[in-house]
């Protein structure tokens, strides 16, 4: 559903380019290469530094993450 393009270490925020819509409350899995990095529920989304409840396909979003994630990690929606 997207890919991490940047990670801001000091504030724990990943920039994700979305290939599908995303909403607060969705559950995500972050994977890089063959290794699963971590799972997390979406607590907040920002588009152009403004908080939103939903983001659409094609948006580049800021996403607060629980763990460090490397650029290039794929983001998948889980159930």
Predicted confidence at residue 8, as pLDDT, reads: 96
Q: What is the DSSP string of 34-61?
A: TEEEEEEE---EEETTEEESEE-TT-EE
SS3 33: coil
Q: How many CB atoms lie within 10 A of CB 7?
A: 17
pTM listed for this prediction: 0.91
State the 10-residue block means of pLDDT for the chain, 79 residues long.
Answer: 96 96 96 86 94 96 94 93
Give the integer Cα–Cα distance in Å for 62 and 51.
Answer: 9
Predicted confidence at residue 36, as pLDDT, reads: 73
Q: Characterize the bridge pairing of strands 60-64 and 54-55.
A: unpaired
Predicted confidence at residue 78, as pLDDT, reads: 93
Predicted confidence at residue 12, as pLDDT, reads: 95
CATH 2.40.30.10 fits 2-78, yes or no: yes
């Amino acid at each position: 559903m997207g890919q991490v393009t940047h990670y801001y270490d000091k504030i724990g925020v990943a920039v994700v380019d979305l290939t599908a819509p995303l909403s607060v409350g969705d559950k995500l899995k972050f994977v890089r290469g063959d290794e699963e990095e971590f799972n997390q529920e979406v607590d907040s989304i920002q588009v152009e530094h403004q908080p939103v409840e939903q983001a659409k396909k094609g948006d580049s979003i800021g996403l607060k993450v629980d763990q460090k994630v490397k650029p290039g990690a794929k983001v998948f929606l889980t159930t």
